[in-house]
């Protein structure tokens, strides 16, 4: 055999090997591995309260953590959380560091081109927040000429600006709320989930939601494309925890209400 033919065969073999790794797992293979191991590996940040964070005893807790544990229980396995920074969290699926990501991952068309998602398990809306006693602002249109405390680069800031508000720059939700409370801003547009968490922690804080955008943003459990059997089982688990009241218990604990829609 000539050296040239040998080289061609080597290249062909390498190409076949690479293609094999690129193919999705055989149907049901990953679900079988999870069932066999008795563990589903879940990627999460661990630094994003109230969804995934460490409590005073350094235990990993949060809404997403408990959802992951509940889903795992329905699958008949235990949840094993693997923490990582957001920038590399989703890529960890590709590297097989875990089987799923539960970390408020928004369901977007761009992500759906490369990954699979469960059915949505939580919804958030842009909420217009004002101080108690402020009766001038009742809708987004009422922001015209008013001061809105916003992170200047956020989508919420763009919504306020489009409504005609004068923006007062902040570092995020906590500072925005403080400016509203101290009357240095008339309102803030922010995430409804962040507001519910804030009111859960400080129920007597004199702020309220006066309007919400109709369209919600949804997050789902991110999984590998091709894991159709696992996706189906996760969706069944989510449906089951909603049907038996587990979801409501977790949702009430962190937000004081159902946040699934």
User: pTM for the whole thing?
Assistant: 0.83
Q: Is the separation of the CB atoms in 42 and 68 below 8 Å?
A: yes
Digitized pLDDT (tens) for each residue of the chain, 261 residues in all? 554 444 444 444 444 444 334 344 555 788 999 999 999 999 999 999 999 999 999 999 999 999 999 999 999 999 999 999 998 999 999 999 999 999 999 999 999 999 999 999 999 999 999 999 999 999 999 999 999 999 988 889 999 999 999 999 999 899 999 999 999 999 999 999 999 999 999 999 999 999 999 999 999 999 999 999 999 999 999 999 999 999 999 999 999 999 998
**Dist CA 30 CA 3 (whole Å):** 41
CA distances from 106 to 54, 96, 102, 187 (A): 22, 21, 10, 26
**Dist CA 51 CA 49 (whole Å):** 5
126-212 CATH fold: D-Maltodextrin-Binding Protein; domain 2 (3.40.190)
**Dist CA 27 CA 39 (whole Å):** 19
Residues of the chain within CATH 3.40.190.10 domain(s) are 20-123+217-255, 126-212
* Strand pairing class (60-61; 187-191): unpaired
20-123+217-255 CATH fold: D-Maltodextrin-Binding Protein; domain 2 (3.40.190)
**Dist CA 17 CA 15 (whole Å):** 5
């Amino acid at each position: 055999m000539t050296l040239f033919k040998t080289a061609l065969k080597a290249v062909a073999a390498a190409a076949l090997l690479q293609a094999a790794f690129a193919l999705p797992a055989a149907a049901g293979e990953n679900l079988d591995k999870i069932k066999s191991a008795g563990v589903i590996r879940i990627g999460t940040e661990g630094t994003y309260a109230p969804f995934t964070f460490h409590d005073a005893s350094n235990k990993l807790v949060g809404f997403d953590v408990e959802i992951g544990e509940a889903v795992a229980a329905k699958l008949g396995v235990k949840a094993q959380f693997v923490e990582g920074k957001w920038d590399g969290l989703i890529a960890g699926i590709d590297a097989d560091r875990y089987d799923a990501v539960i970390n408020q991952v928004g369901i977007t068309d761009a992500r759906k081109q490369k990954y699979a998602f469960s059915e949505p398990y939580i919804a958030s809306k842009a909420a217009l927040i004002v101080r108690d006693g402020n009766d001038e602002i009742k809708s987004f249109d009422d922001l015209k000429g008013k001061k809105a405390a916003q992170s200047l680069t956020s989508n919420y800031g763009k919504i306020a600006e489009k409504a005609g508000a004068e923006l007062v720059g902040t570092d995020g939700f906590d500072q925005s709320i403080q400016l509203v409370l101290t009357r240095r801003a008339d309102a803030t547009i922010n995430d409804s989930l962040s507001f519910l968490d804030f009111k859960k922690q400080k129920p007597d804080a004199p702020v309220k939601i006066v309007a919400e955008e109709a369209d919600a943003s949804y997050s789902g459990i991110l999984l590998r494309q091709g894991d159709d059997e696992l996706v189906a089982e996760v969706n069944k688990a989510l449906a089951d925890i909603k049907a038996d009241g587990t979801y409501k218990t977790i949702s009430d604990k962190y937000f004081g209400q159902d946040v699934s829609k």
